[in-house]
Chains A and B, each alone.
Chain A
Amino acid sequence: MGGGPVEVLSSVDLDIKKGEFVTIMGPSGSGKSSLMNIIGCLDRPTEGSYSLNGVRVDSMDEDSLAAARNRNIGFVFQSFNLLARHTAIENVELPLFYAGIDGSEALAKEALKEVGLERRMKHRPNELSGGERQRVAIARAIVLNPPIILGDEPTGNLDSRTGKEIMALFDGLHAKGTTLILVTHDPNVAAYSQRVINIKDGKVVL
C-alpha cells in the first residue's frame, strides 16, 4: 500500500486451453502471483482483458467474480490457507456453503477420500502435517469439481517426497481433464506439465 501505482504485469498475451497442464516459472517478484490472482478472478487487470470460458472477467461485477471463484476455480496456496478453528471436513465444506449446496458433508467426505485423507476428517489443521494440510486444501479446491485448478507454489512449503505425493494428486486431476495452472520454482514440478510459461519483470518471455 502507498507509494503510488506499480506496474506489475505488462505485455502478457496468454492463451491456456481447456484440459492443459501449464506451469509458470520466473524469478521472485516477476509477477507470477499477480498473474495467478487475475486468472483466479481474485483481481481484475487495470488494463487489458481476460476471458474465462469465453466470458470477459475484467468487466464482471463483484458477485459474479465470487461466483466464478466458487464454481470455476479451485485455488491451492503455498501456505495452505485453511481455517484454523475448523476441522478438515469443515474446511472442505466451505465452498459448498457459499454455493448454497445442502448435504455438503457427503460431498466433502468424497473429496477427502480422493486425496486419501478420509481418516483425518475430524482433525484441525494444527493436528495435521504440512502434506496433509495441502491435501485438505486440494480437497477443498476440487470439492465442487471446478474445471480449473490453480496452484501458487503448492509444493513450496513441503519436502521433496511430500511434494511428489502432492504432484501425483495434481497429475491425477489433469488425467481426469481438469485444466491445471501451477506456479513453481522447482524444475521437477515443471517437468510434470505440458507447457512452461516463463515470466520476467511482468512480461512473458520465451
Chain B
Amino acid sequence: MLFFQILRTAFRGIVANKMRTSLTMLGIIIGVGAIIAMLSLGEGAKQQVIESMSRFGTNVLRVRPGMARMGHVRTGRVETLTLDDAEALKKEVPGIRFLSPVVASSIQVKYSNRNAGTLITGTTPEYIEINNFKVAEGSFFEQTDIKLARRVAAIGSTVRKELFGEGPAVGEEMKIEGQTFTVIAVMETKGQTSFSDPDDQIFIPVTTSQRRVFFQDYVNDINIQVEEASLIPSVKEGIERVLRDRHRIAPGAESDFTIRDFTEMMMAMQETTRTFTVLLSGIAAVSLLVGGIGVMNIMLVSVTERTREIGIRMAVGARRKDILRQFLIEALVITVSGGLIGIASGVAIASLISRFGEWDTVITFWSIALGFCFSALVGLVFGIYPARKASLMDPIEALRYE
C-alpha cells in the first residue's frame, strides 16, 4: 500500500481519537522536551566556559578591595589595595605566574574633534597575558613606561574605529582628561561578549593612571594568574596571609579585601548545570519509557477495536507485512508528532531558561536530530508488538469480530 494512504489512515485515526492520542503523546512530548532542554543547557554551559576562559584566562584570581559581597554590593572602604600590596604579593606568594594591578574607570577621550566615552584601564604589561589580549599594531607599553609614568596608550579596536576611523592611529596624539597621550599600540579585536565589549577600552601605565588621570594612590583590582590549577588553594592562602599581615588585620576579624576565583565560580556553575542535566535526563528517560508504554497500550486498544478492519484489509489482499507496516507507521506518527511538539517546547523552555535563569542555553542541530530520533525509536520499539499482533490475526476470525 502506498505510504501516503497509510499516513492518511493514521491521521484519520488520530483526528477521530484526539483526546486519547494527545494524552498518549504527552509522555513523548515531555521526554523529548527534556532532552532538548538538557542538551541546550549542557551546550550553553560548555560555550560559557570557553568564553570565560578566553575572557578571563585560565586559573585567574582577582583580588578586590572591600569586604565579601553582601548581595551584590561590596561593603567597606574601597581604598585598601595599593601598588605596594601588589608588589609584595608578587614577591612573597609562590605559584604566581603573572600579576597585574588594575585601576579602571570610564571617562571621555578626545582626538581632534571626535569624542568617545570609554573605559581607561591603568595596568601593567602582564595584564594582557592574563586576560588573553593581543597587540595588532605597534607595541604595548613596557616596564620603563610604568616607572616613568609615561603618557602612552594602547587602544582597543572599538576605540580605534570611533576616534580614528580608517586613518592611522599608532603615533597619533589624543587627549585623556586634558592630558596628551601618544597612541603606541592598537589591540586585536576580542569580540563582544554578552557582558561587555572588551575592545572598548584604553590601556595606559598604571602609574600614569594614578598620578595623571584619576589622582588616586590605591588600585581597584589585582589580577593574578596562578601557575597551575592545583596551586590555586595555596596561592589564595598566601594572598590572604600576606595582605592581612600588611593591612594589620587582627586574627578573627574580617579581611578588607576579597579574592574572587573564576575557576571555582565556573566549576560551581558547571556543577549546578550538571545536576540539572542529570535531573533532566532522568525526566527524559522516565517520560519516554512511560510514554512508550502508553503508545503500546493505545496501539493494542486500537488493534482490538479495528479487528474487523484488519479482516477486511486481509480479505481484499493485504499481506501480513502490509498490516504490520500500517500499524507500525501509525505508532510512529503518534510518537514523531509528539516528538516534534516536544522539540518545539524544548526550544521554548531553553529560551525561557536563558532569559530568566542564570544559565546560558544553546540549541544545536544535533540536539534536535537526537530528540527526533528518540521519538521515532520509541515508536518503533513500542509499536512493533501491537503491529505484530495485528498482522498475525486470522482473517476469518477478524472478519467475524463484532
CA distance in complex: A83, B305 (Å)? 13
CA distance in complex: A71, B16 (Å)? 32
Judged by a CB distance under 8 angstroms, whether B90 is at the interface is: no
Judged by a CB distance under 8 angstroms, whether B395 is at the interface is: yes
Smallest Cβ-Cβ distance to A75: which chain B residue: B315
Judged by a CB distance under 8 angstroms, whether A52 is at the interface is: no
A181 CB to closest chain B CB, in angstroms? 15
**A 11-65 contacts with B by CB, 8 A:** 37, 40, 42-43, 62-63
CA distance in complex: A51, B175 (Å)? 108
B399 CB to closest chain A CB, in angstroms? 7
Question: Which of B124-132, B179-187, B318-326 touches A?
Answer: B318-326
CA distance in complex: A66, B309 (Å)? 15
Task: Give the residues in chain B near A1, CB-CB below 8 Å.
Answer: 397
Judged by a CB distance under 8 angstroms, whether A95 is at the interface is: yes
Interface pair B16/A98, CB less than 8 Å apart? no
Task: Give the residues in chain A near B253, CB-CB below 8 Å.
Answer: none
Judged by a CB distance under 8 angstroms, whether B1 is at the interface is: yes
Q: Chain B, interface size: which category?
A: 20 to 34
**B 276-293 contacts with A by CB, 8 A:** none
- Given that A37-B396, A83-B309 are known contacts, is A66 also in contact with B318, CB under 8 Å in the complex? yes
**23 contacts across the A-B interface (CB closer than 8 A):** A42-B314, A66-B314, A67-B317, A67-B319, A69-B315, A70-B317, A75-B316, A81-B308, A81-B315, A85-B9, A86-B9, A94-B312, A94-B313, A94-B316, A95-B317, A97-B1, A97-B2, A98-B313, A98-B317, A98-B318, A98-B319, A102-B2, A140-B316
Chain A residues in contact with chain B, CB under 8 A?
Answer: 1, 37, 40, 42-43, 62-63, 66-67, 69-71, 75, 77, 81-83, 85-86, 93-95, 97-99, 102, 140
Besides the contacts A42-B399, A62-B319, A140-B316, what 10 more A-B pairs have beta carbons closer than 8 Å?
A66-B320, A81-B312, A81-B315, A81-B399, A85-B9, A86-B9, A97-B2, A98-B313, A98-B316, A98-B318
